[in-house]
Every structure is written in structure tokens, then in C-alpha cells.
A and B are shown apart, each in its own frame.
Chain A
């Protein structure tokens, strides 16, 4: 029997010392490296001010402590494909996790000794006494050297032990951790929501410490709630308790349509009511998220649906912003002739749409026939050229050069003026345009044009052979993306009141790309979720998010996230079904092949009356 064994039964657990030592040492060294890097990146020190649980755990320590757990888990997780023998987990996994943790901890001990004895502050800016003090828990060098291997062992053992927990325990542990972290991270929003308009101070007083962070009783309560929800989840998975999601999935035909309508209306009403309950800061955050949702939905059409990697997407955002600014501000460049009117925002919007279409065609046409990767670089070049032109003295008379355009008025609706000082109004404006963008993307995805885009994404030559005019269809993708981005630019101009070339650097394009990819290319819901998670929690290129302390590290995290997603889950958090199949075609084929082999083996076995040895 040559093919891999088909096993529903598992092999017996191995003995604790039956380790693959090399793997353990490699993972341990990697862990040590990561821990030392995180320390030298100054994460522990600069995040130490943000408390998770007062007074026990700060985000600074958390930034170190979660890593051994994860590494302890990964060292003994193996990819189990269909038909591959599966070892039962046991003491071996726990010990492996612990050993990895010890090696990693030794790395930090070494760092403590080195910082204590040498001064490498010249190249490494964070080689500081503050870091040393934090790594010793303020208790002197000996304690610092001993504590890390011990802590590493404990955390690694916990990570390894996750393998031997039952699925139920694992789910509950996950929910508990998630609930505590979630309640801590969303502190600002929760306090804002419960106390700004609603009289629920007693809840926030129970959960949160005065100077920020969860209080101890709050943490315990959050953990209990999380555990309870996790238990419900387990019951739901076993079918004991019905869940709304399962009910929804079973609906078909008109009933499903009705359910959809109800969901959409509920979301709409929630979006309308929520800002009223929230205060300034949270509304500002929501408005920023909204701007990026709009941008990401546009890029989703270009990258997610049509499969064109446009790295100069910020150009359209810039065109929208600058056109609005120039047409509405009294303080624009001096070189404009008198017949260019100073108009209302909505009148300017019409011009913006027109300009966006023209820019989309102008940038799209030359690149449309290029190879995908050349296209990426050339669009990036266009993005830079447009920014440099806005910045230059040559066009300075029109665009204000480095001084930008200031005094941009808000959107005057007659009864109220929407401007940056009122983030709630801005959010409503953004929400309207987001709704429009969502509707357009959703209709386009199902349309003839949308299907043409997906065909091109999957195979351009075949699409062309099927009679699709690839050039026109790709240009349409550019144009739709450009118009959506220019909307965002127009609102951005009205929101911030003055715009400068530095708001439109390439970084913005890349952040939007990360949002689309992490959320899920080609999936509207995914893109919205991606924008909410990344921009809302970590923050945009210039905008702070919920974790304002992370501003130094958010771009680092974006980069790491982009690589991680591409390697492990290219379809994104909320995947698009068709896209997933494209990306994992080989795995699907391999699974199918294995399954067919297994079937053949079983028939073989049945025919000759043998029983497959385990």
C-alpha cells in the first residue's frame, strides 16, 4: 500500500523525551530572536503606559508574553492533510513547548546581561536603562536573568498544552482571552458608548480603573462573560443550542431575501443611531474608518475583482482632494483665472467625478497592456509623479506647492454645515457615500462587467478568447476605482480643511492595499471588516487608532501582516469563495488526489479482505 495511510484512528501518543530536538532548538532560537527584537524595538517600554489589567499586566509586558505561548503552540503543531497519519498529542508536546520557551527566555536573559554590561546605544537607540529595568521587573540583575527562562517555560508549557486540551476547552480559553483583551482594547469606545449619552457609569466603573486599564474585578467579569459565551458557542457547534447564523444559513428563496432585507435595515439603523450615542473622539475614529472603507472598496474593484495591482491608487485620492480644495477654497493658488468659480461642495463633486474619470483613463490607458508586475510599478510611478507635480513650484501657483490649499469650507447643506470640527456630521456624510459604494460594488460584482473582471483576473487570455474586450473592461475597473477614491478625497478635503502633498504619499496606497488584502480581496464585507480592524484599532497612515500607543509600530505590524497573510491566508480574513478556490487550486487538487487514492485503497482492502494496519 504505497499511498499515505487513511486513518480515522490515531497513533498512540509519543513519550515526553521522544523529541525532534532540532525542531525544538530552531523554534527556540527563533523565539529568542523575536523576543530580543521586540525588546530592542522598544515595544515593552513604550507600550508599558497602557494597562490591560491594573496593576498586573501592561500592554508592554503583553507584547513579550504572548510570543512564547504562540511559539510553544506552533512547535508541535503539524499540518494534517487528508490521509496523513495523526499522532495523538501528549506530554511530548507540552515538554516541547516548555523547552522552546526556556531557550527563548535564555535569549532575553542574555540581553539583560548585555545591556547591563555594554553600551550599544549608538546604533541601537532603544538600548536603554529603562528597557533593562523593565526586563528585570525592577528587581535587579539576578532576578532578571533567572525570571525569563522560568516565565518562558511556563508560557511555553501553556502553549504546548493547548494541543492536549479538548476542543471545548480550547474554544473557551480562546473566548476568555479574546473577551479580556477586547474589553481592554475597546476601552475608549465602550466608555464613550456607555457614558456619553447613556447613564451606565456604574458598568464602566466596575470594569475599568480610573487611569485606564481593566480593574481586577472587571477582568474577572470579562473572563466569566467570555467563558460563558465560549461555552454557548461549543454547545451551538454540537447542535445543542440553535444559533441565528445556522438558522440564517438554512433559509432559501424569498425567506432569505426577507432576512437579508431585515439585516440590511438593522445595519443601516444601527449606523444611523450609533454616532448619536458616541462622543467626539470615537466619531472621529469612525469617520476615518469610513474614509478608508471608501478607498478600500474602490481598490477592491481594481485589485480584488479585476486583479489589477494598482500601487498608485493614492493618485485618485489626491485628485479628488485637490480638485475639491481648489474649487471650494477661497485660499487656493493665485494663478487660477477668474472663470474658475469658487463653488459649493456638491457642485465641485461633479467636477471631481469628471476629473477622476479622466485621470482613471489617463493612467489606465498606457498601463493596460503591460505585464501585471510592470503595471504595478508604473502606476506607482504615476502616483509619485502626481504628488511631485502637486508639490512642485511649477504648479505651485495652482496647487499651493508645499503650503497646500487651506481654508477649505465644509459642506453646506442649508440647515447645517458639515465640517471637520463636527466629526459626527462627517461620519454621516462618509456613511452615505460608503452605502453608495457598497451598493455599486455589490451590483457590479453580479453584473456582466463584474463577471468579465473576474474572468480576466483568473486568466486574461482565456477571457479574451471568450470575447471579452479586455482593454475596455480593465479601463472600466480603473475608472470605477478612481471615482470611489475621489469621493473619499473630496470628503477628506472637507474634513481636514487644508490639504498638503504629504497627505498623499505612496504609503497611503500601500496601507489601503494591506486593508484590502487582510480583509479579503474581492469581498465587500471583508474589505469593510479589514478597514474597521486595521484603521480603527491600529490607525491609518497619519490617523491614530484605538491603540494610539501603537503609532510607532503600526507600519511594522502592517508589513508583517501583509507577509503573513500572503503566506498563510492569501484569501484574507473574510474570503471570497471563488478567489479562495483560485488561490488554493493546488491544494484542492492534491486533496482530491489523496481522496481518490484513499478510496482506491479502501476498495483494494475491501476486495482482498485485509484490514489496513494502523
Chain B
């Protein structure tokens, strides 16, 4: 039920005009910023390039490469979190606002485990074994959080008005954040430093990539491949897709709907756990609010890619990650906005609003059952 379809049937109202104005305005803002940036890159003395921001400096090829790589590695992480939002939305039709906190639990358990491993001297010596170990621990804890959440807070609310589970999930998110504060203390906590050989830059094809970021992208790709196999090739996956399509018919076909929903939460939780570890490795610092913004951004990624669409969630994550990393310098700076790095988060939200205005079904189309689409 997009505004575009509706406007053909009904006369245009003030709101429609306003929406059109916003769509055009935002598109103009993005496109002209990029054009200005490109012009400036081609020739810094270009008279058109300096119209809006005479002070813009542009980017060197190295900076550009660095931004893309860090955008992609963050985007891969958003993508992993977005899978959880997308799957739960596909199956239950509500936004599990607390999914970001599942991610935070993963990052926190990773912090605790890796610090303990470092005390034991295993972190440096057997890095890959330790890494696999903390990923497993994080998966177990995140999955447990997601499953308990479903059992305690969401299952009793199935079939209630749409906003009720959403509000509950806000409460769950709030509660988990504050449990983390009272148990683990309010300050930021650090991961142990990574081995030297990992953070070195190395050349892959023609790109120079930091080893950590490469590893993040690889781990995300492996997890995604595993998820794809689970959903598309196994019986469990088929059950999940059937429940997302139509719960009643699925249960008539002999599928245990409750169990499938729990599986969905568990798989989403496991992905968020992996993402939590990747966050810890990328930023090496975790705090109780770690889950909030990445959570919302990952939801945005799920919407950008088309909610309910797993490939779309991953692609949306990569899109949002790169947009967030590039847009401040490619769009905002040419417009003469200073201090652009402060506005990274604002850009992410702007992308969400823009996509919902222009193409509410997402870039790759949403996959929802008819009742959830209403």
C-alpha cells in the first residue's frame, strides 16, 4: 500500500504534495552532492565544484578505499544483525526492538571470555582457536537470550494488537541494557588487543585491506552461507519459510509452529552473537548501549533490503554500511556542512527515511505473508 499507488485513485492532498516534495528534495540533495563530489575529484579547480563548499578537499584514492573497506566491514556486521530482524518480522510481523540487545549480549560475553583467555595466555598464542571459542560462547549466550526473550515476553502476546509486542520489546531492550549496567558496571569495557600479524595491512587482489576487516568480512560471509544453507536446504529452513508464509496452513501441514518460531529467534540470536564478536574485534570496546544504534541501523538495513528477504538483509547491511561511511564525505561535505563525522548516525536514519519514502518495500522487495503486509 504505497503512497504512489494510492495517489492514482485518490486526489492529491497537501500531504501528498509534501511527500513528493520531500522525495524530490532528498533525491536532489543526495544526487547533487555526489555530482559535486565527482566534479571536484576530477578537477579541484573546477568552478562548479566550489559553488557550495569552496573549502571541500575531496578524498585521495587511499582514503576512499579505506572508507569503502570500513563501510563494508561494518555493513557486513549490520547485515548479520539485520537477518534477525528480518526473520522475526517475516515470521511474527513485529519489530523485535530488543534484537540489538541480543547483539550486545554477544559482544559482552565475547569481552568477558576473551579477557579471561588473555589472562590464561591463550589469546595471543592460539588466536584462531580462541576466536572460534569466543564465537561459540557468544552464539550460545545470544541464542539463549533470544529464546528466553521469546518465551517470556513475546509468546504470551501472540495475536494481540500489533503495537503491544513492539512496546514490550522496547521494555525488553531497556531491561537488558540495565541488567548489563547493574551486573557489569556502567563503564565501557575493552577487548584485549589483537595479535600484531592480524591488524597488518595486506593486499588482496588490488586492494590494501587491514587484516581485521578482512577477517570480519570473511566471518560474516561464512555465517551468511551457513544461514543460507539452513534456510534453503534443510527441513527446518523449509518449516521456517512455511511459517513465514502462513502460520495456520503451516500448522495444518504438520509443522510445529511454536518450535519453528523459537528456532527463528535462535538462529537470529546466533547471527547477532557472531556480529557481537565482530563488533568487539573491529572496535575493541563495548558498553551497555552498544546494541542500541547498531540495532536500529540493522533494522534500517533490513528495511532497505526488503524486510523478510534474507539476501536483501545482507545486501541492505552492506549498502547502509557503505552509505554511512561514504555519504558524510561524499554528500554532506560538498554541500558545505562541516563536522560531518558527527552526522554519521543522522545519515543512517536519513537513508532509512529516504528508502521508506521512495520505495517502502525495500531495494530487493519484501517477503511477507498477506496479513503482515496490511
Chain A residues within CB distance 8 Å of chain B: 37, 40-43, 122-126, 307, 309, 311, 365-366, 368-370, 372-374, 376-378, 380-382, 384-385, 388-389, 391-394, 396, 471-472, 475, 506, 510, 513-514, 517, 552-553, 555-556, 558-563, 566-567, 570, 582-583, 586
- Please tell me if B157 contacts chain A, counting CB pairs below 8 Å: yes
**Chain B 262-302 interface 0/1 with A at a Cβ cutoff of 8 Å (1 = within):** 00000000000000000000000000000010001001100
A373 x B3 contact (CB < 8 A): no
A570 CA / B156 CA spacing, docked (Å): 12
If A372-B163, A562-B175 are given as contacts, then 10 extra A-B residue pairs at C-beta distance below 8 Å, sorted by A number, are A382-B353, A385-B346, A385-B349, A394-B337, A513-B167, A558-B174, A562-B167, A566-B153, A566-B167, A566-B171
Nearest CB to that of A389 among chain B residues? Answer: B346
- Please tell me if B223 contacts chain A, counting CB pairs below 8 Å: no
Top-7 shortest CB links A-B: A562-B171, A393-B339, A559-B175, A559-B174, A381-B349, A41-B182, A556-B178
B15 x A471 contact (CB < 8 A): yes
A393 x B349 contact (CB < 8 A): no
User: Which listed residue, B112, B163, B338, touches A393 by the CB 8 Å rule?
Assistant: B338
A interface, over-half SS? helix
User: 5 pairs across A/B with beta carbons < 8 Å?
Assistant: A125-B185, A309-B167, A384-B345, A385-B349, A389-B346
Nearest CB to that of A40 among chain B residues? Answer: B183
A124 x B183 contact (CB < 8 A): yes
- Please tell me if B166 contacts chain A, counting CB pairs below 8 Å: yes
B interface, over-half SS? helix
Supposing A307-B163, A566-B157, A566-B167 touch, asked if A396 and B339 sit within 8 A by C-beta, the answer is yes
- Please tell me if B259 contacts chain A, counting CB pairs below 8 Å: no
Which residues of the other chain, A, contact B157 by a CB distance below 8 angstroms?
566-567
A517 CA / B163 CA spacing, docked (Å): 12
User: Which listed residue, A389, A391, A506, A556, touches B182 by the CB 8 Å rule?
Assistant: A556
- Please tell me if B159 contacts chain A, counting CB pairs below 8 Å: yes
**Chain B 293-314 interface 0/1 with A at a Cβ cutoff of 8 Å (1 = within):** 0001001100100000000000
- Please tell me if B60 contacts chain A, counting CB pairs below 8 Å: no
- Please tell me if B179 contacts chain A, counting CB pairs below 8 Å: yes
A309 x B19 contact (CB < 8 A): no
Supposing A370-B360, A552-B182, A582-B161 touch, asked if A559 and B171 sit within 8 A by C-beta, the answer is yes
Which residues of the other chain, B, contact A472 by a CB distance below 8 angstroms?
13, 15
Nearest CB to that of A362 among chain B residues? Answer: B18
Which residues of the other chain, A, contact B15 by a CB distance below 8 angstroms?
365, 368-369, 471-472, 475
- Expressed in whole angstroms, the minimum distance between the Cβ of A202 and any Cβ of chain B is 41
- Expressed in whole angstroms, the minimum distance between the Cβ of A194 and any Cβ of chain B is 35
Nearest CB to that of B350 among chain A residues? Answer: A385
A41 CA / B343 CA spacing, docked (Å): 36
A562 CA / B292 CA spacing, docked (Å): 18
Supposing A372-B163, A382-B349 touch, asked if A513 and B170 sit within 8 A by C-beta, the answer is yes
User: Which listed residue, B3, B160, B176, B182, touches A553 by the CB 8 Å rule?
Assistant: B182
Which residues of the other chain, A, contact B303 by a CB distance below 8 angstroms?
374
User: Which listed residue, A368, A394, A471, A570, touches B164 by the CB 8 Å rule?
Assistant: A570
Which residues of the other chain, A, contact B18 by a CB distance below 8 angstroms?
365-366
- Please tell me if B56 contacts chain A, counting CB pairs below 8 Å: no
B159 x A394 contact (CB < 8 A): no
- Please tell me if B115 contacts chain A, counting CB pairs below 8 Å: yes
- Please tell me if B203 contacts chain A, counting CB pairs below 8 Å: no
- Expressed in whole angstroms, the minimum distance between the Cβ of B366 and any Cβ of chain A is 11
- Please tell me if B168 contacts chain A, counting CB pairs below 8 Å: yes
Supposing A309-B167, A366-B22 touch, asked if A378 and B352 sit within 8 A by C-beta, the answer is yes
Which residues of the other chain, A, contact B175 by a CB distance below 8 angstroms?
556, 559-560, 562-563
- Please tell me if B231 contacts chain A, counting CB pairs below 8 Å: no
- Expressed in whole angstroms, the minimum distance between the Cβ of A399 and any Cβ of chain B is 12
A510 x B174 contact (CB < 8 A): yes
- Expressed in whole angstroms, the minimum distance between the Cβ of A469 and any Cβ of chain B is 8
Which residues of the other chain, A, contact B184 by a CB distance below 8 angstroms?
123-125
- Expressed in whole angstroms, the minimum distance between the Cβ of A501 and any Cβ of chain B is 11
B170 x A126 contact (CB < 8 A): no
- Please tell me if B63 contacts chain A, counting CB pairs below 8 Å: no
Which residues of the other chain, B, contact A311 by a CB distance below 8 angstroms?
170
Which residues of the other chain, B, contact A559 by a CB distance below 8 angstroms?
171-178
B168 x A373 contact (CB < 8 A): no
A94 CA / B75 CA spacing, docked (Å): 57
- Expressed in whole angstroms, the minimum distance between the Cβ of A309 and any Cβ of chain B is 5
Which residues of the other chain, B, contact A475 by a CB distance below 8 angstroms?
15
- Expressed in whole angstroms, the minimum distance between the Cβ of A380 and any Cβ of chain B is 7
Within 50-86 of B, Cβ neighbours of A (below 8 Å) are at: none
B296 x A377 contact (CB < 8 A): yes
Supposing A125-B183, A373-B95 touch, asked if A555 and B174 sit within 8 A by C-beta, the answer is yes
B171 x A376 contact (CB < 8 A): no
Which residues of the other chain, A, contact B94 by a CB distance below 8 angstroms?
373
Nearest CB to that of A38 among chain B residues? Answer: B182
- Please tell me if B357 contacts chain A, counting CB pairs below 8 Å: yes
Nearest CB to that of B303 among chain A residues? Answer: A374
- Please tell me if B202 contacts chain A, counting CB pairs below 8 Å: no
Which residues of the other chain, A, contact B339 by a CB distance below 8 angstroms?
392-394, 396
A475 CA / B15 CA spacing, docked (Å): 9
A541 CA / B153 CA spacing, docked (Å): 24
Which residues of the other chain, A, contact B346 by a CB distance below 8 angstroms?
384-385, 388-389, 392
Give the interface centre of A41, A392, A513 by most chain B CB atoms within 10 Å: A392
B168 x A42 contact (CB < 8 A): no
- Expressed in whole angstroms, the minimum distance between the Cβ of A310 and any Cβ of chain B is 11
- Expressed in whole angstroms, the minimum distance between the Cβ of A305 and any Cβ of chain B is 14
Which residues of the other chain, B, contact A583 by a CB distance below 8 angstroms?
160-161, 164
Nearest CB to that of A41 among chain B residues? Answer: B182
- Please tell me if B151 contacts chain A, counting CB pairs below 8 Å: no
Which residues of the other chain, A, contact B164 by a CB distance below 8 angstroms?
566, 570, 583
Give the interface centre of A40, A396, A570 by most chain B CB atoms within 10 Å: A570
**Chain B 170-204 interface 0/1 with A at a Cβ cutoff of 8 Å (1 = within):** 11111111110111110000000000000000000
Which residues of the other chain, B, contact A307 by a CB distance below 8 angstroms?
163
A370 x B356 contact (CB < 8 A): yes
Which residues of the other chain, B, contact A570 by a CB distance below 8 angstroms?
160, 164
Nearest CB to that of B165 among chain A residues? Answer: A566
Which residues of the other chain, A, contact B19 by a CB distance below 8 angstroms?
365-366, 369
A380 x B171 contact (CB < 8 A): no
